[in-house]
Amino acid sequence: MGIFDFVKNAGKKLWGSDDDDVSEAIAKEAGVLGMTDALDVKVEGDKVVIKGTAPSQEAREKLILAAGNVAGIAKVEEDITTADSAGESSYHTVEKGDTLWAIATKAYGNGSKYNAIFEANKPMLSDPDKIYPGQLLRIPPLS
């Protein structure tokens, strides 16, 4: 079980602002990641609580980021089990002026590995140049 902190005023803006809109957005993301019936998602003010199972560590981490990188969400509390034992990723909160190249240089010692970070954050990222301050990114271990 883990608790992840997010920047409350950063993140994807949803059309509505009530808990149902946030829950629906997270449920949609869970469907994209192949987790349709294995989760219980509750929104409690600025906190999202997720319980259930995920098919992989990667899917678990992506769901946490999808839930937290929503405007108005400050915390994600999760109790998600996975079938695999892959190593956990580290995380980076984007600061003003950051690029994926700079983040990869800091994380891996080599900026040209930025694509590993970009791929690890799909579908939340659609373009490597479209990151924003406050966004939490997954930094996977290199294989």
Over residues 102-139, the pLDDT tens digits come to 999 999 999 999 999 999 998 888 999 999 999 999 99
Q: Please give the model's pTM, rounded to 2 decimal places.
A: 0.76
Residue 15 has pLDDT above 50, yes or no: no
Distance CA 54, CA 76 (A): 16
SS3 content of the chain, % helix, strand, coil (to 5): 30, 25, 45
Q: Is 53 exposed, middle or buried (0-12, 13-18, 19+ CB in 10 A)?
A: middle
3-state secondary structure of 42: strand
- Residues 65-101 pLDDT 10s: 888 888 788 899 999 888 777 788 999 999 999 999 9
Q: For the chain, how many residues are written?
A: 143
Residue 101: how many CB atoms within 10 A of its CB? 16
